[in-house]
Homo-oligomer: A and B are copies of this chain.
Amino acid sequence: MLSFDTTDAEYLDELAGYVAIPSVSRDATGETMLAAAGWLAAQLSFAGGRVVPTTGHPVVRADWLQAPGAPTVLVYGHYDVQPTGDLAEWRTPPFELTVDGDVIRGRGVTDDKGPVFIVLKVAQAFLEQEGALPLNIKFLFEGEEEIGSPHLPEYLREHAEELAADLVISADGAMWRPTEPSLSIASKGLLTMTIEVTGANGDLHSGRFGGTVANPVHALSEILASLHSADGRVAADGFYDGIPALSSERRAEIAAVPFDEDTYRAGLGLDQVFGEAGYSTLERLWERPTLEINGITAGGKYTVIPHVATGHVSCRLVPGQRPERVLEAITEHVLAQKLTGVRIAVHPDEGAVPAYTIPAGHPAIRAAAAALEEVYPDQDVLLAVIAGTLPATALFEEVLGAKTLFFSFSTADENLHAPNEFMRIPRLREGMRAWEQLWRLLADGPHRLAP
Interface residues of A (CB under 8 A from B): 188, 190, 192, 194, 199-201, 204-215, 217-218, 220-225, 227-228, 264, 268-276, 281, 284-285, 288-290, 292-306, 309, 311-312, 314, 316, 340-341, 386-389, 412
Contacts and interface: CB of A to CB of B under 8 A. Distances in A.
A379 to B, nearest CB: 22
A207 B188 contact: yes
Nearest to A227: B218
A388 B275 contact: no
B293 A190 contact: no
27 contacts: A190-B303, A200-B270, A204-B268, A209-B268, A210-B292, A211-B276, A211-B284, A211-B316, A213-B274, A214-B270, A217-B296, A218-B224, A221-B293, A221-B296, A270-B341, A272-B341, A273-B341, A292-B305, A293-B298, A294-B302, A294-B303, A295-B301, A295-B302, A295-B304, A296-B298, A296-B309, A299-B312
Given A207-B188, A212-B284, A271-B341, A296 B294 contact: no
A206 B294 contact: yes
A316 B207 contact: yes
Contacts of A302: 294-295
A264 B204 CA distance: 13
Nearest to A301: B312
Given A221-B225, A225-B225, A305-B294, A208 B412 contact: yes
Nearest to A187: B207
B297 A296 contact: yes
A341 to B, nearest CB: 4
Contacts of A214: 270, 272, 274
A124 B200 CA distance: 45
B201 A269 contact: yes
A207 B388 contact: yes
A285 B316 contact: no
Contacts of A211: 275-276, 284-285, 288-290, 292, 316
B284 A294 contact: no
A51 to B, nearest CB: 31
A271 B339 CA distance: 12
Nearest to A174: B208
Contact of A292 (B200, B215, B273, B389): B215
A410 to B, nearest CB: 14
Given A201-B269, A210-B292, A212-B275, 9 more contacts: A201-B268, A205-B388, A208-B388, A212-B264, A218-B227, A220-B296, A221-B221, A295-B302, A300-B312
A203 to B, nearest CB: 9
Contacts of A388: 205, 207-208
Nearest to A176: B208
A187 to B, nearest CB: 9
A176 to B, nearest CB: 10
A227 B222 CA distance: 10
Contacts of A221: 220-225, 293, 296, 311
B213 A275 contact: yes
Contacts of A273: 212-213, 341
Contacts of A412: 208
A169 B389 CA distance: 66
Contacts of A289: 211
A224 B214 CA distance: 14
B294 A304 contact: yes
Contact of A217 (B200, B224, B276, B306): B224
Contacts of A314: 206, 210, 303
A336 to B, nearest CB: 15
A390 B204 CA distance: 18
A204 B314 CA distance: 13
Cβ-closest 3 pairs across A and B: A295-B299, A207-B388, A201-B269
Contacts of A300: 294-295, 312
